[in-house]
Amino acid sequence: MSILQKKYKEQVLPELRNLHPGRSAMEMPKLSKIVISMGLSEALKDKNAIQDHGKELSMLSGQKPIVTKAKKAISNFKLREGQPIGLMVTLRGKRMYDFFDRFCNIVSPRIHDFRGFNKKGDGRGNYNFGITDQQIFPEINLDEVKRTQGMNITIVTTAKSDDDCFQLLSMLGFPFK
């Protein structure tokens, strides 16, 4: 069991039960999964972009990413159906808690001019945010990085509302404004 998972069971869950005494134990919000995705528009020009960014994404997530392909052909973007255009990783269980802990305590302070993430959810109890540079992760070797690439991170919780989601994430140590 990871440190953050232990913190959730021993500290956060009892605190949430005190805040919401009418709810059952199964209604308490918890982390469900974390999805990390990269859209690689330069993969159309450079064939090695998928492999290079795939290595970086596998280093920071701990598992091999899935290559996402175009669903439709769009002539203005010179895109054909079935062409690889992105990478995606879904983290669950111990890897999810380890990534969340590393992101909150090690990676977030390394972001340039960081003052906290915006408190705006999707209305359904999930939280999405983007990072413009993958070089803030300490796992990535800066000498091997050929181009900077951003990524989108989605934190999916079992919370029904954004308030419950923000309450859970702030108790777990997520840096909000």
Q: What pLDDT, in 10s, does the model give residues 19-38?
A: 888 888 888 999 999 999 99
Distance CA 50, CA 86 (A): 8
Residue 98 pLDDT grade (very low, low, confident, very high; cuts 50, 70, 90): very high
Parse the chain into domains and list their residue ranges. Answer: 3-39+90-172
In three-state secondary structure terms, 2 is coil
pLDDT for res 161: 87
The CATH number of 3-39+90-172, from 3.40.50.10860, 3.60.15.10, 3.40.50.2000, 3.30.1440.10, is 3.30.1440.10
Amino acid at 36: I
For 142, which DSSP code? T
**Can you tell me whether residue 78 is helix, strand or coil?**
coil
How many other C-beta atoms are found inside a 10 Å radius of the C-beta of residue 62?
A: 14
> Is residue 150 a contact partner of residue 42, using CB atoms and an 8 Å limit?
no
The C-alpha atoms of residue 54 and residue 3 are separated, in whole angstroms, by: 28
| Residue 77, token pair as written in the block | 């973007």
pLDDT digits over 44-75, tens only?
Answer: 677 788 888 888 888 888 899 999 888 888 88
CB 92 within 8 A of CB 33: yes
**Residue 34, strand partner residues:** 91, 155
The pTM of the whole model exceeds 0.85: yes
User: What is the Cα–Cα distance from 164 to 8, expressed in whole angstroms?
Assistant: 15
Instruction: At 107, list the tokens.
Output: 């990676």
- Is the pLDDT at 177 greater than 80? The verdict is yes
Flag whether pLDDT at 43 surpasses 80. no
User: What does the pLDDT average to over 158-171?
Assistant: 89
CA–CA distances in Å: residue 43 to residues 74, 143, 150: 15, 21, 14
